[in-house]
Chains A and B, each alone.
Chain A
């Protein structure tokens, strides 16, 4: 965890294009997986057979890393893969049983012409000697092989766990390079494993609170570029941007999309203290949801769109409350811990992640509704924040500090496997896990 022990897989630093908006390369994150779990399912992902020129991506390696970091699988180290079958008929099951593998994945990459390749893969159950999946993916550009690998990992994950995989998704986060008047903040969108960073927005003033639209096309965020906080919505493909709330007086903060994408919950303080509002994005009409002299902020929608969770210190210290999306009396949700802030809700509404503070230690806690409101910690602290669930809730991403650096961790839902995402010479913060991708 310390900087001294960063034996990181360092990626090539990509050129930082000096564009304010629109697709551009961001600085690549260093990626490292820590921890592991004995109870995880053992799976061998054999290197895929391939003819012709070397490819930019080791497809099997991407699949292995995906399966490892979700915490549910333990992939066999490449050095222990003693045989390399490429067809189902080549698999000697006795070998893989001896290696105590439950599943084996094999595959082939074929030239499809015009710089395109076709990836074929098979998933086999070692004990039953039965093929569970076998498929040829659509031809893809070699530069897009990471996406293909993530999609294969998703199918393997779903076949074995019964839950859709969420590896082929994206994350958004904010980087800060430099300090004081020389600071540059960038809103970045990258693959869920931190690869392929693209700059969405860049500013010399703070950027924070990025939130994905449910369809994954736009990001709402807060920018201080005008001097005060202001909320914007930006299309991540075209760069087109709308100002949503830029009142000169008070905070314009904490945007949160309704599940149907038609409304945005916000925290605005032009009346004197931050209150939660819901803005209809079509009519731009605002409805006030809370009335108290406290700080009311960090709204987040229940998956059914019927209620909004938020942070409020109306009881003295910040705690999580829930209010009907049409207003009414809020109900306190968090009772354990000195402070609870910044909730995130799983897709099925059953788990609520939050930042829980006890003394000077801020950790990510998950409250499981089915466990009677008991919380379990999935991060060690001391300054952890901004939890965000993957769309299948198998993992979360959160922000942490490491020395005087801000870094991100993607963590398995049980907290046992963590993947550290750090910038070589800057801070990474404010992560937000995007929805399932369609393209």
Chain B
């Protein structure tokens, strides 16, 4: 839905601009600049829009890593809980899928449970920061979707992760 909506909006803007340009060529542009400038001026009050997903440094982080056999969201990832939660609040139509993953140690079915637990931990972290549970779904792939396949901690640490996937904005 997100892309379609965004394309539609852009199309509308273009139509509007084209329509306006016949009479007043300059007017629409200052209006856009005004709204863009307004946000950074009042820090914290900035409302995210769908476009921020591709540009905002915090929102661009979509992978949360975990310690072995653990599902706590580590302190260094809390900032991402905050910005993604704020995004979900600011864009109520946004929907997110949390994909939980595990490293190769432990059986496949048990790791499905571990991956889900990690997905749920990120979901709780987002909700603690104000996101609505209705915007979030959790799926576990266990150890079925590793990003690397070596038998060492460096590789394992890359596989113990939750991937944040936006399915709508």
Query: What residues make up the interface of A, taking CB atoms closer than 8 Å to B?
Result: 206, 208-209, 224, 227-229, 248-251, 253-254, 267, 269, 272-274, 295, 297-298, 311, 313, 317-318, 339, 341-342, 355, 357, 360, 362, 382-383, 385-386, 401, 404, 430
Residue of B nearest to A401 (CB): B151
* A297 and B110 form a contact (CB under 8 A): yes
Q: Helix, strand, loop or mixed for chain B's interface?
A: mixed
Q: How far is the CA of A355 from the CA of B108 in the complex (A)?
A: 12
Q: How far is the CA of A360 from the CA of B150 in the complex (A)?
A: 13
Q: Known contacts A273-B117, A339-B106, A357-B105; is A253 also within 8 Å of B139 by CB?
A: no
Q: Which residues of B contact A360 (CB under 8 A)?
A: 105
The contact of B106 among A227, A229, A267, A341, by CB within 8 Å, is A341
The contact of A383 among B105, B114, B116, B117, by CB within 8 Å, is B105
Max chain A C-beta neighbours (<10 A), residue from B107, B145, B151: B107
Q: How far is the CA of A297 from the CA of B125 in the complex (A)?
A: 25
* A224 and B144 form a contact (CB under 8 A): yes
* A227 and B113 form a contact (CB under 8 A): no
The contact of B139 among A208, A227, A267, A362, by CB within 8 Å, is A227
How many residues of chain B get a CB closer than 8 Å to chain A's CBs? 23
Residue of B nearest to A298 (CB): B109
* B104 and A430 form a contact (CB under 8 A): no
Max chain A C-beta neighbours (<10 A), residue from B104, B108, B117, B120: B108
Q: Which residues of A contact B117 (CB under 8 A)?
A: 273, 295
Q: Which residues of B contact A254 (CB under 8 A)?
A: 109
Q: How far is the CA of A166 from the CA of B106 in the complex (A)?
A: 29
* B151 and A274 form a contact (CB under 8 A): no
* A297 and B112 form a contact (CB under 8 A): yes
* B113 and A357 form a contact (CB under 8 A): no
The contact of B109 among A253, A317, A383, by CB within 8 Å, is A253
Q: Known contacts A250-B116, A404-B149; is A267 also within 8 Å of B109 by CB?
A: yes
Max chain B C-beta neighbours (<10 A), residue from A249, A251, A311, A383: A251
* A251 and B150 form a contact (CB under 8 A): no
Number of A-B contacts (CB under 8 A): 81
Q: How far is the CA of A274 from the CA of B107 in the complex (A)?
A: 14
User: Separation in Å of the B103 CB from the closest CB of chain A?
Assistant: 10
* A251 and B140 form a contact (CB under 8 A): yes
Cβ contacts A to B, 26 pairs, < 8 Å: A206-B144, A227-B139, A228-B139, A251-B112, A251-B116, A251-B140, A253-B109, A269-B113, A273-B117, A274-B112, A274-B113, A297-B109, A297-B112, A298-B109, A298-B110, A313-B110, A339-B106, A341-B106, A342-B109, A355-B107, A357-B106, A382-B151, A383-B105, A383-B151, A385-B107, A401-B104
10 additional A-B residue pairs with CB within 8 Å, beyond A248-B137, A274-B113: A206-B141, A208-B144, A209-B109, A273-B113, A274-B112, A295-B110, A295-B114, A362-B106, A386-B108, A401-B151
Q: Which residues of A contact B105 (CB under 8 A)?
A: 357, 360, 362, 383
Q: Which residues of A contact B113 (CB under 8 A)?
A: 251, 267, 269, 273-274, 295, 297, 313
Q: Which residues of A contact B109 (CB under 8 A)?
A: 208-209, 253-254, 267, 297-298, 311, 342
Residue of B nearest to A176 (CB): B144
* A342 and B120 form a contact (CB under 8 A): no
The 7 closest A-B pairs by CB, nearest first: A295-B113, A206-B144, A342-B107, A404-B149, A254-B109, A341-B107, A297-B109
Q: How far is the CA of A227 from the CA of B144 in the complex (A)?
A: 13
* A430 and B108 form a contact (CB under 8 A): yes
User: Separation in Å of the B33 CB from the closest CB of chain A?
Assistant: 41
Residue of A nearest to B156 (CB): A360
Q: How far is the CA of A294 from the CA of B106 in the complex (A)?
A: 16
Q: Which residues of A contact B137 (CB under 8 A)?
A: 248-249
Q: Which residues of A contact B139 (CB under 8 A)?
A: 227-228
* B150 and A209 form a contact (CB under 8 A): no
The contact of A385 among B108, B116, B141, B145, by CB within 8 Å, is B108
User: Separation in Å of the A317 CB from the closest CB of chain B?
Assistant: 8
Q: CB within 8 Å of A: which of B136-169?
A: 137, 139-141, 144-145, 149-151
Q: How far is the CA of A182 from the CA of B149 in the complex (A)?
A: 16
Q: How far is the CA of A254 from the CA of B151 in the complex (A)?
A: 25
